[in-house]
Structure 1
Amino acid sequence: MSADERSIGTSERIDDEVSRSDLVHARLRESPLKRWFLLDGNRYAIAGLFSVVVFATCAVIGLAGYIPVTDPTTATTLVGSIVGGTLPFITIVLAINQLVLSQELGWPGDLEDRFESMAAFRREVEEATETPVSPAAPADFLQLVVDSVVDRTEQLRPIAGQPDDPHRAAVLEDFVDAVANEGAIVSRSLEDADFGTFDALSSVLGHFNGAHLYAARRIRTHYADELSDEAIETFDLLVDLLGLLAIARQTFKTLYMQYELAHLSKVLLVVGFPTLLGGGIFMMTYTRIIDAVGTPWVLVLVVSAVVTFVFLPFVVLLVYTFRIASITSRTADFGPFVPRVEFREDGKGLEENAD
């Protein structure tokens, strides 16, 4: 076996190591709790958990005697500082809305070009998948492309079973198994996904990254003289389908980001106004609250609840930013590129960058 063949067998092999780029989706073996927290979890539920943590922290510190709740100046100064920090959220909301509107607004010519580009992409997918009309729902559309990728890859399995070249058969078998297994995972997720944009996007986060596209091109080029015309045509169509899948994923990511940012600005406004009003009322009435309640530990709970309430806009921004940042990092491998992964040509396999 030549050194070139050994290189193909190790460095271009699509196995568990290659198909799991740390940047792309932090490995399929990541903690389900971590994925729920960063991506799939209900943002309102996570905001509630953060609020409980804030309340418990303030209550523990207060009950330990570090917050003099009987002194109105201390409590009102704390709440006033948080309320003052909430005011810049108006600027944040305006900036978010400006970003969303910049993508939505346009003149007829621009909108027509955008529409034609989307229609041309759908026709290209329909031609590649041999489908008369592609689905409109994101989940169904992605499932169509994923299933087509798997079907085309399975057509290579008979070639992998040919005994004339065991090394080529092993390389093809590894490639087919990896794509088929990953396709089965994504397809099952898409079947259970609602027709919402994020459900569809979440199913393909970290799957079908550029490593598959790179391996398909390398295998097709390396064995071009040994493969039949039908096999080469299958590889060419497979490369096209993987490229279309990458574009579809980025498209639905863009749609989801627009929705998420618009929704975030609305939630910040809904939460921000009551917190400003409530914080102001608290600062004006806390002296009377001390006289009415009197019991220190009850005052601690009251102050903790108010601090948690006025802190809510920061919590909302935090939990939504977590998901937006996680989606951005996990879909950074657009097209044929696989960030933080190097396919070494010295026969030693895959190497991941440390940064």
Structure 2
Amino acid sequence: MSSDQYSTGTDEKIDEDDTRSDLVHERLRESPIKRWIMLDGNRYTIIGLFVVIVFGVCTTIGFAGYIPVTDPGAATTLVAAIVGGTLPFITIVLAVNQMVLSQELGWPGGLEERFESLTTFRREVEELTETEVSPAAPADFLQLIVDSVIAQTEKLQMDINQINDPDRAENVSDFINAVTTEGELVSESLVDADFGTFDALSALLGHFNGGHLYAARRIRTHYADGFSSDVLETLDILIELLGHLAIARQTFKTLYMQYELAHLSKLLLIVGFPTLLGGGIFMMTYPIIIETAVALNRLVLIVSFVVTFVFLPFIVLLVYTLRIASIASRTADFGPFVPRVEFKEE
């Protein structure tokens, strides 16, 4: 096994013989600005940034003379077209609410099964981590598993001297270093993370993909003859922990998605109603505004403001959809599989 195949989350070292997934490993190539816009940035801040951009573009075009602001028909037609495009947002909001409610509603049998499965999962994690009661907060629960992964890899590091084959020892050491370093980065990010602020999920995006689980299973299978029973037990626990970490990440991703979609639908309703009302009032009063506001520059600013205002629901939908889609793509590597990644099998 190539040592580079274990460097899946701690640095930018990529074996050129491997075909890296655009879904899982895109973070290795993207800029911090792109990640901030797509994922980590505060959504209200990014909405404000897009509002400024739209307003700036409108005023630039208006001052250049390409928007006939003195013609009430042209300005009102533009605003009417945008307002007409806002009406389908009612359908979008209803669809989003239906998606969220479909996950929340249920009958006693189904709800009981769901509750029992989550309880069983928590007990399995508690048994593996030797914890009496696991944390209820998602970030703390994830940190418990990550810290346990680090502890098991450090325990494995102490037994690496049992391996007589230098190549095998190097491969296992590379695996341990990759998992430990990545685990420390994730654990540090989870310290102050709160659910609902995206921090808990963001800490795991692109980290601990199925490559670590795959590598641990191959080491456990192919190097078993050179390990003691204690080392094999440590590897078994590590494999189970990595599997439970994948399940926990997907579970909290689902919870966060529900929260984000519900918040998006509420925000679209809050923004959509004033834009519809404001756009309608503008179309009725703009001929009077032209007579009142004599200065051409003033008319350009008024039209630019109204166009930006009625365009606001589209900006909100764009900003939130960017993050939801990015989360879905970056967590596509659920479980033991890593999409579109070729590993060396020797």
TM-score by length of 2: 0.94
Q: Is the 8 A contact 1:11 1:344 kept in 2?
A: no
In 1, the alpha carbon distance for the partners of 2:4 and 2:45 equals 43
1:17 to 2:20 alignment: no
What is the correspondence of 1:23-102 to structure 2 with a 5 Å cutoff? 23-28=23-28, 30-102=30-102
What's the CA shift for 1:197? 6.0
What's the CA shift for 1:325? 0.2
SS of residue in 1 equivalent to 2:226: coil
Residue 277 of structure 1 is matched in structure 2 by: 277
Q: Which runs of 5+ in 2 are unaligned?
A: none
Residue 209 of structure 1 is matched in structure 2 by: 209
Task: State the superposition RMSD in angstroms.
Answer: 1.7
In 2, the alpha carbon distance for the partners of 1:294 and 1:220 equals 80
Residue 334 of structure 1 is matched in structure 2 by: 334
In 2, the alpha carbon distance for the partners of 1:163 and 1:222 equals 12
What's the CA shift for 1:67? 0.7
Deviation digits for residues 236-295 of structure 1, max 9, x if unmatched?
111100000000000000000000000000000000000000000000000000000011
What's the CA shift for 1:198? 2.1
What's the CA shift for 1:193? 1.4
Q: Is the 8 A contact 1:275 1:309 kept in 2?
A: yes
Residue 196 of structure 2 is matched in structure 1 by: 196
Q: Which runs of 5+ in 1 are unaligned?
A: 1-7, 348-355
The one-letter code matched in structure 1 to 2:237 is L
In 2, the alpha carbon distance for the partners of 1:12 and 1:41 equals 31
Which range is displaced more, 299-308 or 9-18?
Answer: 9-18
Q: Is the 8 A contact 1:125 1:145 kept in 2?
A: yes
Number of matched residues? 339
Residue 139 of structure 1 is matched in structure 2 by: 139
What is the correspondence of 1:294-333 to structure 2 with a 5 Å cutoff? 294-333=294-333
In 1, the alpha carbon distance for the partners of 2:286 and 2:64 equals 21
Q: Is the 8 A contact 2:129 2:144 kept in 1?
A: yes
The one-letter code matched in structure 2 to 1:139 is A
Residue 127 of structure 1 is matched in structure 2 by: 127
Q: Is the 8 A contact 1:40 1:202 kept in 2?
A: yes
SS of residue in 2 equivalent to 1:155: helix
Identity over aligned residues, as a percent? 72
Residue 184 of structure 1 is matched in structure 2 by: 184
What's the CA shift for 1:196? 3.4
Residue 257 of structure 1 is matched in structure 2 by: 257
In 2, the alpha carbon distance for the partners of 1:21 and 1:226 equals 33
The one-letter code matched in structure 2 to 1:278 is G
What's the CA shift for 1:58? 0.8
Deviation digits for residues 160-195 of structure 1, max 9, x if unmatched?
234622111101110110000000100110013124
The one-letter code matched in structure 2 to 1:138 is P
SS of residue in 2 equivalent to 1:23: coil
Residue 234 of structure 2 is matched in structure 1 by: 234
Q: Is the 8 A contact 2:163 2:227 kept in 1?
A: no
What's the CA shift for 1:27? 2.8
Which range is displaced more, 297-306 or 195-204?
Answer: 195-204
Deviation digits for residues 191-249 of structure 1, max 9, x if unmatched?
13124362111111110000000000011111111111111111111110000000000
In 1, the alpha carbon distance for the partners of 2:46 and 2:197 equals 20
What's the CA shift for 1:111? 0.7
Q: Is the 8 A contact 1:21 1:27 kept in 2?
A: no
In 2, the alpha carbon distance for the partners of 1:88 and 1:9 equals 52
In 2, the alpha carbon distance for the partners of 1:130 and 1:180 equals 19
